[in-house]
Structure 1
Amino acid sequence: MPRRDDNQDMASQQTEQRLLALLEGLVQEVQPDRHDTRPITLASRLDRDLGLDSLARSELLLRIEQAFGKRLPESALLAETPGDLLQQLKSDTAQPPHPEPPTTSAGPTRPAAPAGSEGKVTGEPGEADTLNAAMDWHLERHPDLPHLYLYGDRDDPETLSYGELDRGARRVAAALVSRGVRAGDRIALMLPTSRDYFIAFFGVLRAGAVPVPIYPPARPAQLEEHLRRHGRILNNAGARLLITVAEARSVAHLLHAEAPHCHIATLAELDEAPEAQAPAVPAANDLALLQYTSGSTGDPKGVQLTHAQLLANIRAMGQRLQARPDDVFVSWLPLYHDMGLIAAWLASLYYGIPLVVMSPLSFLSRPLRWLELIDRHRGTISGAPNFGYELCLRALTPERMQGLDLSSWRVAFNGAEPVSADTMEQFGKRLAPCGLQSSALMPVYGLAEAAVGLCVASPGRGVVIDTVNRERFEASGEAWPESNPAAAQRFVNCGPPLPGYRLRIVDAQGHELDERLEGDIEFQGPSATDGYFDNPEESAKLRHDGWLRTGDRGYLASGDLHISGRLKDVVVRGGRNLYPYDIEAAVGDLEGIRKGCVAVFGNPDPATGAEALVVVAETQEQDPARRRELHHAVADSVVDIVNVPADEIVLAPPHSVLKTSSGKIRRAATREHYRQGRLGKQAAPVWRQVVRLSLRARLQRWKMHLGKARYAIYYAYGWTIFGLGAALFALIGLPLPRLSWRWRVARHLSRGMAALAGIRLEIRGLEQLPGNQPFVLVANHASYLDVLILTASLPCALRYLAKEELESRSASRIPLTRMGALFVERFDPRQAEQDMQQAEHAVAAGDSLAIFPEGTFGPKPGLGDFHMGAFLTAAHAGVPVVPVAIEGTRERLRGREWRPHPGRVTLHVGAPLQPKGSDWNAALQLKNEAYAFILENCGESRHSG
């Protein structure tokens, strides 16, 4: 009869064998071309030997839990070897799989509040010009309002109110001031997602200093290497202090060696400091954040963002997403990344939205906990990079979906890395039984140089896919619609620019391209960075004729952005930016690798959009055993540098890595050779290369001239259409005896001109126009096309109010007079008052008026202030005001330029606003209500000027 110890040993061996077999299967899937033939043992390193990154580890934990019927703790994600995982399986910390979430509600219940407030956020700190002032606004109204729900290892969250956050932050600020920190000093933060991070970050702001977030090491064992590699960032930022974990004390000497002026402190040390003098109060244009976007051993690039820029981006995102007091944000996004820091936390803080927070490590170890917290807290806004949705799809099982309710989730954004249409479609389909509406799914686009958000669609639109002809797109960059799936390439629609922002697509020479032509993406907006901190060379490269280069490629269709590729060499893996220079420099130092002959690039998967990390390193080594050692050394080096294993390592013969004439690595060209299987192949004869390059150059010039000629043809064609339409109206419409007849002809001609010029009209709410009484129509004014659009869209005759300068020119006076226009003086108050009395008499006589209350327009986007004349006229005459928002005309004919562009224009007709009296206050109320409607629907923000 076997002894009990023998049975235990046998069971342990079986567990070990099952674990190694499971791991072997996963490695074969992740690394099908793995060169290391050594068997997997309990001592194998998961990253260096087996090439498993954090996403593959997450998949491994899911498979272990399913195979062994146990739930591993979050710390299992930090395991270094299969032996560590085996110990986790045997330990008491392993629990039965997937316990039911607690039934007691831990949701964002609001505490008792002052009378009348009902514990809710009413309004927003719209007058705040800094993050500090926004916090003060909330502290004055509801200091005890829960702001953060922090989930750690326990099932119940730790709650942090506005008041608690501020009290902790003020203690930190006092300690910083007592240590000599002055306004504008940079303070680095290297902390995990925790209460300490939030308090430290806002403590730096309360001191008038500038936070510099740095991502913390995934494992304590990496702390030494982590600090060494971040020395360049700390030096570039001129950081005086690094607030980090206590374990960093043991390697403080390394920090002093890499950044001699930077010292280490923990939050506990700062929290115990005595009170000091009052900290500095920042101003709107003071620096609020340094967001580093580049590698640590390369040329660090810290995006400079002021308080005003951060608030501008937060307000634009909130306006587009229709942020409201009953929203709940659920996030696992890293706080060192702009999407987690700004879009999730700082935006939630500004709008008074409770933020439910779990750490990225917790998400990677249990992806479905994210969805469970959305259910538990009735989350309305949440999002992730594409890989986050992929991880959830892998973890979903019918059992895990039972009882999951995602019906509250109204905005499920996907950004920070390429968005896969397949992933979004599968996610919506799989979770539809759980109440997730497909309309909630929202691809977005942004970049740190714009703070975070740049293109976001309105909620409820869902995922929109543009299918274009693949062959034509690859050959000429034309995104021509294609209905045949076999010939189509799919691009995800990332939505239009946020209110107050502008996009344009330019060719290699910097000339603006028409819609559906691929080129480089540039933008303007109120949160556009002023440049990179202490890096004038890179800052100069960022700007182009008043626009900022994004480094991405794409095209516009109906004003919406579609991303097609990237100019930047950055590789995006798991929502993190990896920079080739860091890896290339380290691999090039290995013995046996040709120094300066290493290329690192991303190779995107067409199905998922995820990028494989590829390392091409030249070597003269031919011995198979030595090549295996070299391959292993390269793999180790990659993990040391970026904590992510390479997906493929190619040891190529000399001259495989392509370079420019000045010796710079041509990563894109090397990637193309890699894809085509041409690495290391002998180059074509020189004469053939010369001929090929000459033909290619001629083709590119021909394409450039063709593009210019095509636009010149459209330019001439468009103005020919407008000129012929005006001539026809002068011959046919103006002589007609009745205004209603003239208006009818003008409407039909305007519709025809718009259609022939490629301007697609979309009219919403036309049925709300009053049909049996006069009214005053007010609309925003963004372009010379506005009159054409209104005339083409409205079924009834209106009399426009025009500036008096137009009356002095016969070319404009005659047609405007025949159309019943009333001329008003803008600068002489006495004459203007008489002109408005004339407008009131016209309304009293039964005429309806069309007025642009902004008065004029310029090239800069934004809704200007409204003059009171239109609203006083309506109030005095007792007739309704009809607000009309015109969206898109500025893009079709910008500012005072005369270059038309085809595309969509939308007219939003609002419900009539009835005056509640005839005095100034009644007119002011009409103005405010009309302004609010037009601001919400015109696609632009309030004019910043």
Structure 2
Amino acid sequence: MIPGTAEALLAVVRTTHAELHRGATPAGIGLDSRLEQDLGFDSLARVELLQRVERTFGVALPEATLQTALTPRDLLAAIAVAPTHAAAPAFARASTGPPPATGGPAPVPAAAATLVEVLDWHVEAHPGRTQIILLTEGDAEERVDYRHLREVAGAVAAGLQGLGLQPRQTVAIMLPTSREYFFAYFGVLLAGGIPVPIYPPARPAQIEEHVRRHIGILANAGAGILVTVPEAMPVARLLEAGVPGLRRVVTVAGLTADSPPTPVALRADDIAFIQYTSGSTGNPKGVVLTHANLLANIRAIGQAIGVTPVDVFVSWLPLYHDMGLISAWLVSLYFGNPLVVMSPLAFLARPERWLWAIHRHRGTLSAAPNFAFELCLRRLADAPPAGLDLSSLRLLACGAEPVNPDTLRRFAERFAGSGLRPGALTPVYGLAEATVGLLVPPLGRGPWVERIDRDAFTRMGEARPAAPGHAHALAFVSWGRPLPGHQVRVVDGAGQELGERVEGRLEFKGPSAAGGYYRNPEQTRRLFHGDWLDSGDQAYAVAGEFFITGRVKDIIIRGGRNIYPHELELAVGELAGVRKGCVAVFGSPDPAAGTERLVVLAETHAVDPAGRAALQAAIARRVLEVLGEPADEVALAPPGTVLKTSSGKVRRSACRELYEAGRIGARRRAVGWQVSRLVLAAAGLRVRRGLALAGGWGYALRVGLLFAFVAPLTWLVTALLPRPEWAWAAGRAAARGFLRLCGTPVQVQGLEHLPPPGQVHVLVANHASYLDGIVLAAALPRHVGFVAKRELLGQFVPRIYLRRLGVEFVERFDVRQGAEDAARLAAAVAGGRSLAFFPEGTFTPTPGLRPFHLGAFAAAAHARVPVVPVAIRGSRAWLRADQWRPRRSPLAVVICPPVLPIDGAEGFGEAVRLRDAARAGILRHCGEPEADATSP
């Protein structure tokens, strides 16, 4: 070894430690200092350290060093035998292209009701097609086709049944990314059991303490069998004593049997697996997901992003996490496209390996949390590797933790020269309670980032766009629209749906929504608000897309893992020297890492340096014991620093503000005054929101009273007028007056596009609300005959009113009668009568322009008259479907240029052309996205 290597290595360790802990570097760092326990290097910090070591000494450390090196002395030994950096690593070989798909692209198993049926369908259709390409150490590849996956999974299933596993019993799977994980998961399903994925240890040497942290999960799941790595076998007896009901700890190799498994009948509503939302809470929450949930979400994701068998998904995401298990693997398995997968440790050790895997295998799809993109930016700080080609990517999703818009921007710019498409990189939103996916932006658009006025948002929850150049604006990114067949809304504290650009709690429902938490009825009750599920996130909506603004609870997300503060606060509070109940644990954003720093703030009476240093070390050890990873910073503070509510609950957000302002430990002259000010500010916010809520109900009452006065009077006048034109004029005056008195007059644009008086035309408008008829009556200066549903003829009041206006009625449900009505309307237009249609036929609470029926356009094509598209904007927000509480919202009508008939064109093709052109004009101006055809 070169003399001075040890000193140079320790210099690198000290520099990295100083940056990690903001300059607080102990003098005693030596070759035998433990990287985690003594120096506080978590997994991401260890990655950074190894990268700096490689750069300093010009070597390529084995990927296993990330797991095996516990001290600087271990790093020193690794340096001594490590090869120098090669000109190009093995994983940077030339592109191989996608693996061959035996038999060519195939249809999907649309009729499958369970995951086992999906696998069997593929085995029947193309058993030799590659499903999994596992990248291992040294760039070796292990391939698994559908037949091999089914055969080994069947052997595992037989072994589980031989151990006495009964249908619908749980089996915990604690395995790293490997062939064994895939075999174990389907083996449990084939045996009739319920898989329970839990995250594996970072190092086999820590298997016992790691599994002990999972005692709560294993007990809640009632797991009788744990499938894990061979290193766990020596601690089986301890686990059996600590976890009620746990009978066996086994490996995949020890499970496989020669005999076939006993077939077990599975139903769509059987549990396909339980996804625990945290690995370290005292009260675990296991999300119950059925086969129906999974397949609904998989199919919706596939429809939203257009997955086909020729796609290639490249992933390093851990398989115990729903994003890696479902979004990467099970989606690929369903649609028949190969999954190229490597271990998370391989990515952490060399982030560029992920990018080269995309290059080599011509990956079209991939996903990662925000911190992964930051890691790539730091690792490839100078420039992307020469020859790297990312042009095959059509979707690179960022999710699983808060997204930093600046990270996405810098990543897109850095790798644009490597062929990364501008619109490929995009945020996606999901949660375990929705199976995995919930919101996806339009493909190819890229991130939509809004700059929001900070004062209006923090005070009133109103997401007002900031003025250009606003120095303190907040930046939020759109996570997109709901997946096909799903609904999302934003509600206030009372569960009332909010209008656009108002922050509230995000709720959702749909076929992939979970049924609740496993053996946890209390948390399940809290999850549901009627038939809507609470996401636990805050958000606001704009044009059918949703901007996530923060977490309702103070969950800390670091490196893609959720950390819950409460248990740490309790554990640290038990230490001698810490004031019990005076501990705050919170996350603080770390832009450099693209994730959150874990900060522990504890009050103490200790003042001498030695005592405080010993207490900090004790707290660091306790955090490591509870979480399995260290805190980023342990801050000691004098009594009275940790702020609380009047009921004694820790105010973590306020403590975080103190920390980020650098005021921890600073002398404060008026603590009581500061607390009182915070309490008053909170009370003021509640009062303002209460007034806003009262104002909303007051507005609704005002509108109701106005309608109760105007509507009967308008009906009576209309009923007495002999001519439809006169009735229209009276109705128009009433509509304009009513909306003006409501404080929402209609803004009209494009009146010049209306045909001159006497010219026959067909007018078509989008339909978003019960209000649309009133809005059109107020906006249009001349009479036009409306077309309405025939059901209204059965109601006396609407029948009299609408007939006086000259409304035409059509049948919506009887096909024969509907065809006759369409012919009658076409004849009316050909006879010289202008008509107005709502070609969507109905409306829903969910924003979005639905498909148009052809009747209006067939009439226009038959009569050779122009179609006038009219876009109504704001009426859905003013009065949604199935609701009778109006909300103040601006109303606008945009009259688009007419779509003229083409000389000589007629029939079905011309009707379709008129429809598509009119719909495109309305879509541009209605302020809503294009609705999914499966939306309710």
Q: Same fold (TM over 0.5)?
A: yes
**Aligned-residue offset at 1:578:** 1.4
Taking structure 1 as reference, are residues 180 and 143 closer, same or farther at Cα in structure 2, changes over 3 Å only? same
Match of 1:45 in 2: 34
Taking structure 1 as reference, are residues 886 and 257 closer, same or farther at Cα in structure 2, changes over 3 Å only? farther
Match of 2:80 in 1: 90
Match of 1:431 in 2: 415
**Aligned-residue offset at 1:22:** 1.7
**Aligned-residue offset at 1:664:** 4.7
How far apart are the structure 1 equivalents of 2:217 and 2:241?
Answer: 13
Taking structure 1 as reference, are residues 720 and 223 closer, same or farther at Cα in structure 2, changes over 3 Å only? same
Is 1:186 the counterpart of 2:170? The answer is yes
**Aligned-residue offset at 1:250:** 0.9
Taking structure 1 as reference, are residues 697 and 842 closer, same or farther at Cα in structure 2, changes over 3 Å only? same
Taking structure 1 as reference, are residues 648 and 102 closer, same or farther at Cα in structure 2, changes over 3 Å only? closer
Match of 2:379 in 1: 395
SS in 2 for 1:205: helix
SS in 1 for 2:371: helix
Is 1:294 the counterpart of 2:282? The answer is no
Q: What amino acid maps onto 1:942 in structure 2?
A: T
How far apart are the structure 1 equivalents of 2:546 and 2:186?
Answer: 35
SS in 2 for 1:446: coil
SS in 1 for 2:64: helix
Residue by residue over 1:68-120, the C-alpha shift from the partner in whole angstroms, topping out at 9 and shown as x without a partner, is 2221111111211111111111115665364264646544332441xxxxx11
SS in 1 for 2:196: strand
- Of 486, 490, 493, 1:505 maps to 490
Q: What amino acid maps onto 2:32 in structure 1?
A: A
How far apart are the structure 2 equivalents of 1:796 and 1:58?
Answer: 71
The 5-angstrom pairing of residues 237-276 of structure 1 reads 237-262=221-246, 263-276=248-261
Taking structure 1 as reference, are residues 148 and 187 closer, same or farther at Cα in structure 2, changes over 3 Å only? same
Taking structure 1 as reference, are residues 868 and 493 closer, same or farther at Cα in structure 2, changes over 3 Å only? closer
Taking structure 1 as reference, are residues 691 and 343 closer, same or farther at Cα in structure 2, changes over 3 Å only? closer
Match of 1:71 in 2: 60
**Aligned-residue offset at 1:336:** 1.1
- Of 117, 120, 139, 2:105 maps to 120
**Aligned-residue offset at 1:245:** 0.7
**Aligned-residue offset at 1:441:** 1.8
How far apart are the structure 1 equivalents of 2:784 and 2:152?
Answer: 61
How far apart are the structure 1 equivalents of 2:19 and 2:48?
Answer: 11
Match of 1:303 in 2: 287
Is 1:807 the counterpart of 2:793? The answer is yes
Match of 1:4 in 2: none
How far apart are the structure 2 equivalents of 1:275 and 1:917?
Answer: 65
Match of 2:502 in 1: 517
How far apart are the structure 1 equivalents of 2:492 and 2:84?
Answer: 57
The 5-angstrom pairing of residues 51-450 of structure 1 reads 51-78=40-67, 79-92=69-82, 96=86, 98-99=88-89, 101=91, 103=93, 105-113=95-103, 119-122=104-107, 124-262=108-246, 263-283=248-268, 285-398=269-382, 400-450=384-434
Match of 1:20 in 2: 10
**Aligned-residue offset at 1:226:** 0.6
Q: What amino acid maps onto 1:226 in structure 2?
A: H
**Aligned-residue offset at 1:672:** 3.9
How far apart are the structure 2 equivalents of 1:208 and 1:877?
Answer: 64
Contact residue 69 and residue 97 of structure 1 kept, 8 A: no
SS in 2 for 1:315: helix
- Of 545, 548, 559, 2:533 maps to 548
Contact residue 310 and residue 527 of structure 1 kept, 8 A: yes
How far apart are the structure 2 equivalents of 1:787 and 1:281?
Answer: 51
Tell me whether 340-349 or 874-883 shows the greater mean CA deviation: 874-883
Tell me whether 316-325 or 425-434 shows the greater mean CA deviation: 316-325
RMSD of Structure 2 on Structure 1 (CA): 4.9
SS in 1 for 2:86: coil
Is 1:651 the counterpart of 2:636? The answer is yes
Taking structure 1 as reference, are residues 912 and 725 closer, same or farther at Cα in structure 2, changes over 3 Å only? farther
How far apart are the structure 2 equivalents of 1:330 and 1:760?
Answer: 50
**Aligned-residue offset at 1:682:** 6.8
Taking structure 1 as reference, are residues 328 and 625 closer, same or farther at Cα in structure 2, changes over 3 Å only? same
SS in 2 for 1:439: coil
How far apart are the structure 2 equivalents of 1:181 and 1:759?
Answer: 67
How far apart are the structure 2 equivalents of 1:678 and 1:47?
Answer: 25
**Aligned-residue offset at 1:233:** 0.3
Contact residue 806 and residue 813 of structure 1 kept, 8 A: yes
Match of 1:584 in 2: 569
Contact residue 863 and residue 943 of structure 1 kept, 8 A: no
Match of 1:942 in 2: 934
How far apart are the structure 2 equivalents of 1:854 and 1:467?
Answer: 34
Match of 1:5 in 2: none
- Of 600, 604, 622, 2:585 maps to 600
SS in 1 for 2:334: helix
Taking structure 1 as reference, are residues 912 and 385 closer, same or farther at Cα in structure 2, changes over 3 Å only? farther
SS in 1 for 2:524: helix
Match of 1:896 in 2: 882
**Aligned-residue offset at 1:586:** 3.4
**Aligned-residue offset at 1:553:** 2.2
Match of 1:460 in 2: 444
Contact residue 514 and residue 711 of structure 1 kept, 8 A: no
Task: Provide TM-score, normalisation by structure 2.
Answer: 0.84
Taking structure 1 as reference, are residues 606 and 724 closer, same or farther at Cα in structure 2, changes over 3 Å only? farther
How far apart are the structure 2 equivalents of 1:144 and 1:760?
Answer: 63
Taking structure 1 as reference, are residues 288 and 831 closer, same or farther at Cα in structure 2, changes over 3 Å only? same
**Aligned-residue offset at 1:419:** 0.9
Residue by residue over 1:788-816, the C-alpha shift from the partner in whole angstroms, topping out at 9 and shown as x without a partner, is 79999999999765322323557644675
Q: How many residues align?
A: 908
**Aligned-residue offset at 1:320:** 2.3
Tell me whether 665-674 or 172-181 shows the greater mean CA deviation: 665-674
**Aligned-residue offset at 1:219:** 0.5
Tell me whether 489-498 or 529-538 shows the greater mean CA deviation: 489-498
Q: What amino acid maps onto 2:120 in structure 1?
A: D
Task: Provide TM-score, normalisation by structure 1.
Answer: 0.83
Q: What amino acid maps onto 2:49 in structure 1?
A: L
Match of 2:756 in 1: none
Contact residue 593 and residue 617 of structure 1 kept, 8 A: yes
Taking structure 1 as reference, are residues 33 and 545 closer, same or farther at Cα in structure 2, changes over 3 Å only? farther
How far apart are the structure 2 equivalents of 1:313 and 1:455?
Answer: 11
**Aligned-residue offset at 1:197:** 0.6
Taking structure 1 as reference, are residues 440 and 860 closer, same or farther at Cα in structure 2, changes over 3 Å only? closer
Tell me whether 364-373 or 807-816 shows the greater mean CA deviation: 807-816
Q: What amino acid maps onto 1:258 in structure 2?
A: G
Q: What amino acid maps onto 2:57 in structure 1?
A: F
The 5-angstrom pairing of residues 869-888 of structure 1 reads none
Contact residue 422 and residue 607 of structure 1 kept, 8 A: no
Which ranges in structure 1 are unaligned for 5 or more consecutive residues? 1-7, 114-118, 767-771
